[in-house]
Amino acid sequence: MDKPEEDKKPKPEMPPSPKRDSGPEISQTRKVLIGLFILGFWIFFYWFRES
C-alpha cells in the first residue's frame, strides 16, 4: 500500500547550526611541548621515587 503523492511534502530547509567555538586552537608544536613536559615530570618522579 503506497501512500498518496500528496503526503510527500518537501521538508523545509533548516539553516546550518552555528559552529561552536570550543576555545582557542592549540598549535601542534605547543601540544608536543606540553606532552614532553608531562612525560618529563613522570620520568623524573618515577626515577627518584626510591630516594
* All structural domains of the chain with their residue ranges: 27-51
Instruction: Classify 14 as helix, strand or coil.
Output: coil
Average pLDDT, the chain: 80
Q: In one letter, which amino acid is 2?
A: D
Ramachandran angles phi, psi of 5, nearest 5°? -65, -25
7 DSSP 8-state letter: G
Q: In one letter, which amino acid is 4?
A: P
Instruction: Classify 26 as helix, strand or coil.
Output: coil
Question: pLDDT tens across 27-43, in order?
Answer: 999 999 999 999 999 99
- Whether the model clears a pTM of 0.75, i.e. scores above it, the answer is no
Residue 18 CA to chain centroid, in angstroms? 16
Whole-number Å distance between alpha carbons of 8 and 12: 12
